[in-house]
A and B are shown apart, each in its own frame.
Chain A
């Protein structure tokens, strides 16, 4: 009998192509996702060394980070450097014969949204991308690592990644979420509890009743921010919801292959008694709708709280908190619900899926953006956008006064023209509130789509539960 193994142990064991005596392994990669910003130097490296892409059929590319989200972009991208980067990806995809979704394709979108949508992301696989939010794919029980450009080149050339095994960490969310509390609040609550380095060196498996109850979209939101907690990857064991989501997707297996895959996927769970190096348990009932107040994703508080006093922290964090409040233009003791906003951004690989747009639209229906507040909805993919239009959600956003954009990363990182002006404050559904992330001197408060919609209506950070009471 073999010792009980975690889900991570199982996927790891299945993918070791070579192991050196010191434990350094070549981990075989089943799916390699590529975008325009972190890949040009890798393809250039291949060319210079006269190497090929080892497994082009397992390599999938899409431009998402710096594409404009306004119409006409397939004809022309005005920013020259962005255009060159996108054209470089066009050329590399063609020259090396890899799968490609250009901006003109309705299937184009944020790399972490289209991977699952197209059925590339499958349980028990290894997935890498030159992007830290690759963790998203862990929602399907796939081991998904964000990597740097040198590693992108390594995977292109060898279809393997040099890795040592990480430690196992279990994050269990027990019980049931209250009304107005979402997957985003779960993932922010975990980072709030463990810090941005709490997961360093670990692969997190999320489990517990509240995780099981989430949709696939919600699970992707949870795993997406595993990296914000410092983890090497986030995982959720696949179940019937996972299989239902994947059935019939373009690149998911079909027929007999589907049946064989399904039988294998059902073995992908942590065995009873398997060892975890670290365990964190949070009660779902203790999670309130959260917002960030500072410039690190660990700076989270319930919307009912007040801005903290930097002196209340310990160690190096005092200085960081002082700097954060200064940057954010906030004073200790201010009620978070009194903080006025200038902009609302709904989108990103954290919350740019159909369910997120439904949640925001449910709050916005029949209401309008507060005067002076600018609102932007950027669907995560062309297909999400299309579906939202079919379901009438797009009209809800437009009627509420939001801009309805084309798919891309957009104001999540502001590499394209979608940026905050200095000092502008934004209620955002993305994943990073770093200094300058959404624009030079821009101020970001992270929250769920429903919370962002609530803030849009009142023009200040708002407890969505109050709005929900009004709707009933």
Chain B
């Protein structure tokens, strides 16, 4: 997994609330057995018409969103299905950071596993950044994960909270499984004890 430290870039605004993972990547693209190549179909049913032509006024098709690496979204983004194809599609499209007032739990977790930083901020801060996002390339947003800040185009700084362990893994691009396997003796000990306490399992 790629590490994440600092990012300066333009953002795409999606003020819609409850953006679900079926919207982010519709089910017809879940038939893949790979993780790559899903960016083309990110927000597919909102982005293309039935013939596959781009819908001009959808935010990611607008010229000002070209090259965006940040998504600013309405509350409760990522609700619904657990499909990790959602962050895979975002990442493949080039999005490295999602900002919202709230995230659905599984999606939030899935972002971290793929080097995407989900940033939770209060409503006023998100509204401020949403305005920046609407300006496209005329407004750059700066994210500093080690310092836990987002800086808006006008220099306003918003601090955000993040779980220290998740931050550590993201900053260092660490593989969870490798880390957990270092604790294999604890898992062995737990299994031995559980076998005597709940032998029916």
Using a CB–CB cutoff of 8 Å, the interface residues on chain A facing chain B are 14, 17-18, 20, 22, 24, 26, 28, 30, 37-38, 40-41, 44, 49, 51, 54, 58, 65-66, 79, 81-82, 84-85, 88, 122, 124-125, 130-132, 146-151, 153-154, 157-160, 162, 164, 196-197, 200-201, 230, 232, 253, 257-258, 260-261, 264, 296, 298, 315-317, 319-320, 323, 413-415, 422, 432, 434-437, 440
Total of A-B residue pairs, C-beta within 8 Å: 182
Beta-carbon contact of A264 and B198 below 8 Å: yes
Q: A150-B110, A150-B113, A257-B200 are in contact. List 7 more A-B contacts (CB 8 A).
A: A22-B164, A51-B177, A85-B33, A130-B84, A197-B102, A200-B76, A230-B105
Beta-carbon contact of A150 and B32 below 8 Å: no
Beta-carbon contact of A320 and B187 below 8 Å: no
What is the total number of residues of chain B having a CB less than 8 Å from a CB of chain A?
55
**A132-B81, A196-B79, A316-B75 as given contacts; A413 in contact with B31, CB under 8 Å:** no
CB-defined contacts of B104 to chain A, threshold 8 Å: 197, 200, 230
Question: How far apart sit A440 and B194, CA to CA, in the bound complex (Å)?
Answer: 48
Beta-carbon contact of B76 and A197 below 8 Å: yes
Q: Which residue of A lies closest to B200 (CB)?
A: A253
Q: Which of B10-18, B52-60, B131-139, B149-157 contacts A (4 or more CB under 8 A)?
A: B10-18
Using a CB–CB cutoff of 8 Å, the interface residues on chain B facing chain A are 15-18, 20, 22-23, 26-28, 30-35, 45, 50, 74-76, 79-84, 87, 102, 104-106, 109-110, 113-114, 163-165, 176-177, 180-181, 183-184, 186-187, 189-191, 194, 198-201
Q: Which residue of A lies closest to B186 (CB)?
A: A18
Beta-carbon contact of B181 and A157 below 8 Å: yes
28 contacts between A and B (CB under 8 A): A22-B165, A24-B165, A38-B82, A38-B84, A41-B35, A49-B177, A65-B30, A81-B32, A85-B31, A147-B109, A148-B106, A149-B84, A149-B110, A150-B84, A157-B181, A197-B18, A197-B102, A260-B200, A261-B198, A316-B17, A316-B75, A319-B17, A415-B28, A422-B50, A432-B22, A436-B45, A440-B45, A440-B50
Chain B binding surface SS class: loop
Q: Which residue of B lies closest to A54 (CB)?
A: B187
Question: How far apart sit A319 and B17, CA to CA, in the bound complex (Å)?
Answer: 8
CB-defined contacts of B83 to chain A, threshold 8 Å: 37-38, 148
Question: How far apart sit A158 and B33, CA to CA, in the bound complex (Å)?
Answer: 22
Beta-carbon contact of B82 and A130 below 8 Å: yes
**A17-B187, A440-B45 as given contacts; A146 in contact with B33, CB under 8 Å:** no
Beta-carbon contact of A200 and B183 below 8 Å: no
Question: How far apart sit A415 and B82, CA to CA, in the bound complex (Å)?
Answer: 15
